[in-house]
């Protein structure tokens, strides 16, 4: 069977693959420490679960409007108004089956063949492939730990061409946890303002900030409203990854085009999950969110300290999200026990870490950053220590 060529350049998600491999080993009784998952290890708050049960009992189990139930779209708009001072009509909000679905619809609705999308590297694994699936061209702007993974003004300005259609801003970032400074956001604004360029503000980690204050481009320049699409969801903040609710708020023409696409693909997101998301956005859950954030913060400090104590490993301190992105380039010239050749690259490094030491991490190459690896600290302190003990043992064993 001859399959669609559009998939030829697209790889399966490496983060999902690593998590699946770790889960497979665990199911066989292997004691694996999993640092791959990009989801909170906390349970969804009880009040949200109760709202879902209530929705089922009340019979809210039918189709909803494609764009989402009106109250949820209103709640999203109200949240953006309260937090960023920018007003959106409910019709300018589209509820999708998770933030990933929202981004996929956005690029399908926005891009024509050859349109360029500026992506700052390291980047979330799906950005570039989503752009390619929409027949766009990813323009990768390389950053590194020396700048705390922020692009320079010259890099931002140099990436903009006559074919640029969008710039993605993911701050705090997956995979680095880095948060863009106000200067960087201002440079992005200056580079796109008045042009036919959309800023895709992926704000999914906006509530998981440990250093500084979360800001997006609309906080700095509300007049940019017609050039910004805010993508967010309930997955990270409310520990609701499996509920699959995300949204986009943006210019009416874009949101309407995305809805047309969604009309003919998934239609509405789960009616029950939408009612759960409405509860998440409207109930007083600040104390539970803060408790999760503080727990993540304690793990963040601990894992960075422990990683930097391992010879040959260097790790910046993330400002947000729940990932660290240690640099292991200094270790790649070394050999694993019994091996004739050096490890050579991050993919072999993490393969050795999993196979010989039963620790699952994601290679930095998956995020466009060879020589690094991503560890999620959305796991218990006990598991963090066990995993880092094993990493230290591996490093010690390298010849």
Give the angle 78-81-84 at the CA atoms, nearest 5°: 140
pLDDT band at 83 (very low <50, low <70, confident <90, very high): very high
pLDDT band at 120 (very low <50, low <70, confident <90, very high): very high
- Residue 131 CA, chain-centre distance (Å), reads 15
Residue 103 has pLDDT above 90, yes or no: yes
Residue 22 has pLDDT above 90, yes or no: no
Long-range contacts at 4-11 (CB < 8 A, ≥ 24 apart): 6/132, 6/133, 6/135, 7/133, 9/129, 9/132, 10/129, 10/132, 10/133, 11/129
Of 2-16, 52-66, 335-349, the poorest mean pLDDT is in 2-16
- Calculate mean pLDDT across residues 149-154: 98
pLDDT band at 166 (very low <50, low <70, confident <90, very high): very high
pLDDT value for 180: 98
Tokens of 331: 């270790």
Tokens of 342: 């050096």
- Calculate mean pLDDT across residues 125-152: 97
pLDDT band at 15 (very low <50, low <70, confident <90, very high): confident
DSSP per-residue codes, 190-207: HHHTTSS-EEEEE-TTTT
pLDDT value for 66: 98
Residue 112 has pLDDT above 80, yes or no: yes
Domains of the chain: 5-43+287-397 (3.90.1150.10), 46-282 (3.40.640.10)
pLDDT band at 309 (very low <50, low <70, confident <90, very high): very high
How confident is the model over 250-275, as pLDDT tens digits? 999 999 999 999 999 999 999 999 99
Per DSSP, helices labelled H in the chain are 14-27, 46-57, 70-84, 99-110, 126-133, 153-159, 182-192, 217-220, 252-263, 271-282, 286-308, 346-357, 381-397
CA count, 13 A, side-chain hemisphere, 113: 1
The residues, any chain, with a CB within 8 Å of residue 245's CB and separated by 6 or more, are: 95, 96, 97, 98, 233, 234, 235, 269, 270, 273, 274, 276, 277
pLDDT value for 7: 85
DSSP 228: E
Q: Which phi and psi (to 5°) does residue 248 adopt?
A: -125, 135
pLDDT value for 14: 74
Calculate the average pLDDT of the chain. 96
Name which residue leads in pLDDT, 248 or 17. 248
CA distance 188 to 160: 10
pLDDT value for 286: 97
pLDDT band at 13 (very low <50, low <70, confident <90, very high): confident
CA distance 40 to 295: 11
- Calculate mean pLDDT across residues 173-188: 98
Evaluate whether 74 touches 90 at the Cβ level (below 8 Å): yes
Give the angle 275-277-282 at the CA atoms, nearest 5°: 95
pLDDT band at 6 (very low <50, low <70, confident <90, very high): confident
pLDDT value for 328: 98
- Calculate mean pLDDT across residues 140-145: 98
pLDDT value for 18: 75
Percent of the chain with pLDDT over 90: 91
- Calculate mean pLDDT across residues 186-190: 98
Evaluate whether 123 touches 12 at the Cβ level (below 8 Å): no
The residues, any chain, with a CB within 8 Å of residue 294's CB and separated by 6 or more, are: none
Of 3-17, 138-152, 187-201, 351-365, the poorest mean pLDDT is in 3-17
CA distance 67 to 263: 8
Residue in the structure block whose two tokens are 């708009």: 77
pLDDT value for 209: 98
pLDDT band at 278 (very low <50, low <70, confident <90, very high): very high
The residues, any chain, with a CB within 8 Å of residue 114's CB and separated by 6 or more, are: 135, 136, 137, 163
- Calculate mean pLDDT across residues 361-386: 97
pLDDT value for 16: 75
């Amino acid at each position: 069977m001859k399959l669609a060529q559009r998939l030829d350049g697209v790889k399966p998600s490496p983060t999902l693959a690593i998590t699946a491999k770790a889960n497979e080993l665990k199911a066989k009784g292997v004691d694996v420490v999993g640092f791959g998952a990009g989801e909170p290890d906390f349970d969804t708050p009880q009040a949200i679960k109760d709202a879902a049960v209530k929705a089922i009992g009340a019979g809210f189990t039918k189709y909803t409007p494609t764009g989402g139930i009106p109250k949820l779209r209103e709640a999203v708009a109200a949240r953006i108004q309260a937090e960023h001072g920018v007003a959106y009509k409910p019709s300018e909000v589209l509820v999708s089956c998770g933030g990933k679905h929202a981004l996929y619809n956005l690029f399908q609705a926005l891009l024509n063949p050859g349109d360029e999308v500026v992506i700052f590297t390291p980047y979330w694994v799906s950005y570039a492939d989503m752009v390619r699936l929409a027949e766009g061209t990813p323009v990768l702007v390389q950053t590194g730990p020396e700048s705390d993974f922020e692009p320079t003004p010259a890099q931002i300005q140099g990436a903009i061409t006559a074919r640029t259609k969008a710039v993605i801003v993911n701050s705090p970032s997956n995979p680095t946890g880095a948060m863009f400074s106000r200067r960087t956001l201002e440079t992005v604004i200056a580079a796109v303002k008045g042009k036919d360029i959309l800023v895709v503000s992926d704000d999914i980690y906006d509530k998981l900030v440990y250093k500084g204050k979360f800001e997006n481009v609309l906080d700095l320049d509300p007049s940019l409203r017609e050039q910004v699409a805010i993508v967010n969801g309930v997955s990270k903040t409310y520990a609701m990854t499996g509920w699959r609710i995300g949204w986009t708020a943006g210019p009416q023409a874009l949101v309407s085009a995305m809805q047309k696409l969604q009309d003919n693909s998934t239609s509405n997101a789960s009616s029950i999950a939408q009612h759960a998301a409405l509860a998440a956005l409207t109930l007083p859950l600040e104390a539970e969110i803060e408790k999760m954030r503080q727990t993540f913060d304690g793990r963040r400090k601990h894992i960075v300290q422990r990683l930097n104590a391992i010879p040959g490993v260097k790790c910046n301190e993330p400002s947000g999200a729940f990932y660290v992105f240690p640099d292991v380039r200094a270790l790649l010239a070394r050999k694993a026990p019994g091996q004739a050749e050096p490890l050579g690259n991050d993919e072999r490094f993490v393969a050795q870490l999993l196979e010989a030491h039963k620790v699952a991490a994601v290679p930095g190459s998956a995020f466009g950053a060879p020589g690094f690896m991503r560890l999620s600290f959305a796991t218990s302190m006990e598991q963090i220590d066990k995993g880092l003990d094993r990493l230290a043992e591996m490093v010690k064993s390298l010849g």
